[in-house]
């Protein structure tokens, strides 16, 4: 992927990986538009980063996604990159009662959100000489964290959907990429400074380097052991991984 001269739309761009990617791409000479739910935070980011534009968007609202996409395509006719980054990560209990409202909200945000955003922009992207659809999944797509079972499942679904997108768009100008982060120290769950989490600045630096030559996916070195786990031995690895997390809990307060 060329790293300058693009017009990039990023969902979930007000914090964590989304904001850091937006700032890095802005510094590289791209026109960046970020979406988020909170106007005050969007204004704060725009003020701190001259050149970044903002738009309010509730990623769980299908009609609003279509409306915002139409507005952005009209305002930025050279828009050629969409990064599906917005997501939430609630804890759940796959062995207990279901919080149905939370589950529906999670699936609507993490799975249907990116699917709807992609659909809203894809015909426009096909008209660009060189364009990109980038989906932010997770290494939990390959090795699920039992304490966030449904979140992990949505990320596995995004990985699968990305594979299909890449195939069906293979004869167009749209390149489909997947970023699969490891545990990065952001406020997605709780920013803690835990040494097991990859520092955000290090993750962004390595990701930007990998994006430049990526044709399918971006997996930083720290995430490779989990990404490479898929295969006949994955069941034992998942057991070991989750037992390790259980024995060394992630701080949530």
Q: What pLDDT was estimated at residue 248?
A: 84
Q: Is the pLDDT of residue 231 over 60?
A: yes
Q: What pLDDT was estimated at residue 204?
A: 98
Cα separation of 179 and 82, whole Å?
A: 13
Q: Would the CA dihedral through 52, 54, 59, 64 be positive or negative?
A: negative
Tens of pLDDT, residues 141-178: 999 999 999 999 999 999 999 999 999 999 999 999 99
Q: Is the pLDDT of residue 40 over 80?
A: yes
> What average pLDDT does the chain have?
93
CATH of domain 7-247: 3.40.50.720
Distance (Å) of CA 76 to CA 160, 173, 247: 30, 18, 50
HSE-CB at 210 with a 13 A cutoff on CA atoms is 18
Q: What pLDDT was estimated at residue 253?
A: 54
Which pair of tokens denotes residue 155?
A: 């990320």
Tens of pLDDT, residues 80-118: 999 999 999 999 999 999 999 999 999 999 999 999 999
Q: Is 161 a catalytic residue?
A: no
Cα separation of 10 and 33, whole Å?
A: 6
Options 132, 142, 151, 161, the catalytic residue: 151
Strands 7-10 vs 81-84: parallel, antiparallel or unpaired: parallel
SS3 assignment, position 132 = strand
**227 backbone dihedrals φ, ψ, rounded to 5°:** -65, -35
Domain regions of the chain by residue span: 7-247
Q: Is the pLDDT of residue 27 over 70?
A: yes
192 or 164: which leads in pLDDT:
164
State the pLDDT confidence band at 2, using cuts at 50, 70 and 90.
very high
Q: Is the pLDDT of residue 252 over 70?
A: no
Q: What pLDDT was estimated at residue 235?
A: 63
Q: What pLDDT was estimated at residue 178?
A: 97
Strand-pairing partners, residue 167, are: none
């Amino acid at each position: 992927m060329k790293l300058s001269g693009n017009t990039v739309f990023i969902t979930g761009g007000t914090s964590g990986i989304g904001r850091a990617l937006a700032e890095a791409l802005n510094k590289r000479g791209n026109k960046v538009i970020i979406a988020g739910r909170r106007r005050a935070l969007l204004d704060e980011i725009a003020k701190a980063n001259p050149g970044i534009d903002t738009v309010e968007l509730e990623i769980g609202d299908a009609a609003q996604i279509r409306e915002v996409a139409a507005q952005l395509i009209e305002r930025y006719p050279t828009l050629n990159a969409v990064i599906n980054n917005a997501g939430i990560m609630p804890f759940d209990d796959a062995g207990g009662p279901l919080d149905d409202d939370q589950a529906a909200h999670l699936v609507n945000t993490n799975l249907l959100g990116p699917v709807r955003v992609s659909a809203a922009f894809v015909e426009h992207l096909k008209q660009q000489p060189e364009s990109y659809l980038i989906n932010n999944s997770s290494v939990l797509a390959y090795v699920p964290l039992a304490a966030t079972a449904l979140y992990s499942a949505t990320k596995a679904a995004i990985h699968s959907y990305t594979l299909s997108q890449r195939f069906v768009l293979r004869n167009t100008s749209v390149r489909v990429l997947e970023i699969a982060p490891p545990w990065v120290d952001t406020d997605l769950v709780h920013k803690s400074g835990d040494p097991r989490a990859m520092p955000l600045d290090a993750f962004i630096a390595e990701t930007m380097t990998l994006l430049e030559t990526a044709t399918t996916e971006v997996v930083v070195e720290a995430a490779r052991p989990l990404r490479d786990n898929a295969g006949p031995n994955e069941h034992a690895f998942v057991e070991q991984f989750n037992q390790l997390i259980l024995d060394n809990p992630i701080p949530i307060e």
